[in-house]
Structure formats: structure tokens, C-alpha cells
Chain A
Amino acid sequence: MATLKLEIVTPEAKIFSEEVEMVTLPGSEGELGIFPLHIPYMTRLTHGEVHARRGAQNFFLAVGEGFVEITGEKVVILTDMAIRAENIDEARAEEARQRAEARLAEKLDAEEIARVNAALTHAATQLKVKRRGR
């Protein structure tokens, strides 16, 4: 079966680089399911879950905002956060979420609010991905 190369890159590291048969990702205009030989396509990525499948193997990742470039044989995701579901530390994410929520209650300038909100969405996305199917 034809495969796609899925690459997920953050500024800090290359998180994921493997041949997969199918990818589902959260585009800005809605969820996208991508199979090999997809038309060349470029869009924005929003917070959510990337799901890739190869045979019986499933990969789940939590991703932040970013961009996606899709060609027939390759899917490249550039994002500010990407973390594999199995690497998500639930306790830490929950703690981060609570901390962010507490910070939001304080008086902050716009820049701070944006940063805290980003942290909050990151934590919430991680929790969502970790707790899926439970």
C-alpha cells in the first residue's frame, strides 16, 4: 500500500518523521483526512489532535497552531507545539491548565493574556488527546 511521509517539526525539534498510510489533522477550516496522492494543498493548523495510522499501528499527537503543507507523498506540519500522546504527562498538563486558569483571573496586560491563553490551550489540547476514548 502506498504511504505518506508525515513530518511534524517544531522550532525546538523534529518530533515525528515516519511513513504512514493515513493522517487526520485539525485544519483551520475543519478536520482533514489525508491519504496518499492527495492534491498539493496548504492550510493553517489549529490546536487539536493529529492521528496517523500505519497497518494496525496508531499514532496520536497533540499539536498547537501552525501550518500544513501536503503533497502527494508527503505531509509536513510546522507547529509551535507537538507531543506524542504517550509522552503527555497528564498530571503536569492538568497542573499547567490550573495554573493558567488561575493566572487568567489576575490582572494582566494583553501580551500576558495571549501567552497564558496559549499555555491554556496547549494544556487543554494535551489533556483532550490523552483522555480520548476513556
Chain B
Amino acid sequence: MPSTRDIRRRIRSVKNTAQITKAMQMVASSKMRKAQLAALAGRPYAQQMNSMLADATAKAGDFTHPLMESRSGHRTAVILVSTDKGLCGALNSNLFREAGKLATESTVFVCAGKKGAQFITRTRRKLVAEFTYKDAPLFSEARALSRFVRELFLKGEVDRVDVLFTDFVSTLVQKPEWRTLLPVGVIKGVQAGVGPGESPAVLQNSGMEFQFEPTAQQVLGELLPHALNFEIYQILLEAKASEHSSRMVAMKNATDNAKQLIKDLTLEYNKLRQANITKELLEITTAQMALG
């Protein structure tokens, strides 16, 4: 039977924990709002880019680019977009479960976020590069990552590049998602950020005859890598939005649990206190009776 002092001490420690998780929940929720807004702010750019790509491909005819070449090999590079910090619920473990299904020999990993890199090294998989991205992902960070995998692909070190990241569905739902980045295959629009209800970005060309300068091939040749950069940027934004939402929910649960625990402990404490008082009263009265 614990003494009242022990219970008081426990209540105090749980209270402190609850305060911390509450603070983290607040921080995560404000960051989540920002991340969601950023993801939304990227949409107009994505739309414009898609319509430009559509117009350019319609004009360029049987245009081919080294990035579109599909090869028969099985060497794959996977970009694993995880978080830098923990305490965000099951987000990372869900990602890693997906990543763990891959063959270890033919797959190399490129990580964005520290947790992913730690997982890859811990499970002795091949890690070729680790990139960082900030709370508000910068386009230059996405560009560095995209350039790295493009070079890996163009040098022939890998035959395809996939991305594994957490797609932001809603504040409560985030799910790990695969996407093939390279080879580009048929030119398609930027897909990230298109919700399940909306139709995947169908390329609509405006039916206009465009003039290109210097040539359609050149413009398209530059537009294509850029579209990839942007796709990665959008993916980073989605991943960030997921991370903060997931952390917020996890911290909210932690706070709620702590509150419940405090309630239970307080009840137990009061019961014990009452029992002690009764016991003392009994002792006093028996002592008096014995004396009297």
C-alpha cells in the first residue's frame, strides 16, 4: 500500500508531464496550420505548371528526354521522407514498416529527415545520402534532393527512383504513400497535394498553338527537371503537414491520458487520506475509552 506522500509525488510528476505534452501540442498545432497553408499555397503553382507541361508536350511531339528512359534493371533508389524528431505517434513506424518490405540488396536509400536515416543504418540497409529539410521546407532543399536523385538515375546507378512519404489526408489521417519519380514515363502532372476526392491532375492543354523560344524541346527539357523539383517540394510540404498533425494528435492523447491518470490518482489519494483519518480517529477514541 503506497503512502499518501508517494501518491502526492506521483500526481505532481504526472502533472508536469501533462504540462509538457500540452505545450508540445500547442506548438505542433500552430506549426500544423502553417504547414497546411504552405501546402495549399503551392497548388496554384502546380496547376500552372501542369498546364504548361501539357501545352509543351502537345507541341513537342515525340520528344524524349534521358529522364524518361525506362530500363529493365531492378536497382531502385528510395527517397524516404521521415521526420527529424520523434513523439509523433505511429507516423515513422508506419513508414518504416513499408520500407522494411523492400529487398535489401537492390535498394539504396536517400533519406530526408534524421529518423529515417537512423532506421536505415540500424537495419543495415544502404544509405547513400541524407538530406535535411526545415519546418517550413525551402524550395532549395527540394531542389538539392531532386538534383541528387536525378544524377543517380542519369549516371545509371539506379534504374528507378521511388518516393516513400506520408500523405496528408486530414488532421486525423495520414498514410504512407509510394510514388514513382523516375523514369518519368508518360509526362504527367504534379500529383502530390491532389486529394482523393479530386481527379488526379489530368493534363489539359488549352488547344492553342504555342510558339517556343528557343525551341519546344529546350523549354520542355528544362521544364521537366523543374517539375520534378516541384513534385519533391510538394511532397516535403505534405510530409511536414502530416508530421505536425500526427504530433499534435499524439500529444493530445498523451495530455488526455495524463489528465485521466491524475483524476484516478487523486481519487485514490483522497480515499487513502480518509482511511488514515478514520484510523487515527479510531485510535484516539479507543485510547480514551481505555483511559476512561
CA distance A69 to B139 in the complex (A): 21
Chain B window 184-221, contacts with chain A (Cβ cutoff 8 Å), 1 for yes, 0 for no: 00000000000000000000001011111110101100
Check if B140 sits within 8 Å of A118, measured CB to CB.
Answer: yes
CA distance A9 to B41 in the complex (A): 10
Is the C-beta of B233 less than 8 angstroms from some C-beta in chain A?
yes
CA distance A71 to B210 in the complex (A): 8
Is the C-beta of B109 less than 8 angstroms from some C-beta in chain A?
no
Q: Which residues of A contact B147 (CB under 8 A)?
A: 111
CA distance A29 to B209 in the complex (A): 20
Is the C-beta of B126 less than 8 angstroms from some C-beta in chain A?
no
Chain B window 28-55, contacts with chain A (Cβ cutoff 8 Å), 1 for yes, 0 for no: 0000000000100110110011011001
Check if A43 sits within 8 Å of B144, measured CB to CB.
Answer: no
Check if B52 sits within 8 Å of A78, measured CB to CB.
Answer: yes
Q: Which residues of A contact B222 (CB under 8 A)?
A: 44, 67
Is the C-beta of A40 less than 8 angstroms from some C-beta in chain B?
yes
Q: Which residues of A contact B209 (CB under 8 A)?
A: 40
B211 in complex: contacting residue of A28, A39, A111, A115, CB < 8 Å: A39
Check if A67 sits within 8 Å of B144, measured CB to CB.
Answer: no
A42 in complex: contacting residue of B49, B144, B219, B233, CB < 8 Å: B219
CA distance A29 to B212 in the complex (A): 11
Q: How large is the interface on B (under 10, 10 to 19, 20 to 34, 35 or more residues)?
A: 20 to 34
CA distance A12 to B137 in the complex (A): 10
Is the C-beta of A14 less than 8 angstroms from some C-beta in chain B?
yes
Q: How far is the CB of A54 from chain B (nearest CB, A)?
A: 21
CB closest chain-A residue, reference B223: A67
Is the C-beta of A24 less than 8 angstroms from some C-beta in chain B?
no
Q: How large is the interface on A (under 10, 10 to 19, 20 to 34, 35 or more residues)?
A: 20 to 34
CA distance A71 to B211 in the complex (A): 10
Q: How far is the CB of A77 from chain B (nearest CB, A)?
A: 9
Q: How far is the CB of B220 from chain A (nearest CB, A)?
A: 9
CA distance A9 to B56 in the complex (A): 18
CA distance A12 to B234 in the complex (A): 10
Check if A42 sits within 8 Å of B55, measured CB to CB.
Answer: yes
Is the C-beta of A105 less than 8 angstroms from some C-beta in chain B?
no
Question: Which residues of chain A from 73 to 126 have any CB-CB distance to chain B below 8 Å in the complex?
Answer: 76, 78, 80, 111, 115, 118
Chain A window 1-35, contacts with chain B (Cβ cutoff 8 Å), 1 for yes, 0 for no: 00000010111111000000000000111000000
* Chain A residues engaging chain B, CB cutoff 8 angstroms: 7, 9-14, 27-29, 39-44, 67, 69, 71, 76, 78, 80, 111, 115, 118
Given contacts A42-B52, A43-B214, A44-B218, 10 further A-B contacts (CB under 8 A): A11-B45, A12-B41, A12-B42, A13-B41, A28-B213, A42-B216, A44-B213, A67-B223, A76-B48, A78-B52
Chain A to chain B: the 3 pairs with minimum beta-carbon distance, closest first: A43-B213, A40-B208, A40-B210
Would you give 18 A-B contacts (Cβ < 8 Å), ordered by A? A10-B139, A11-B45, A11-B233, A12-B139, A14-B44, A28-B213, A40-B210, A41-B210, A41-B211, A41-B212, A42-B56, A42-B211, A42-B212, A43-B212, A67-B222, A71-B206, A115-B144, A118-B140
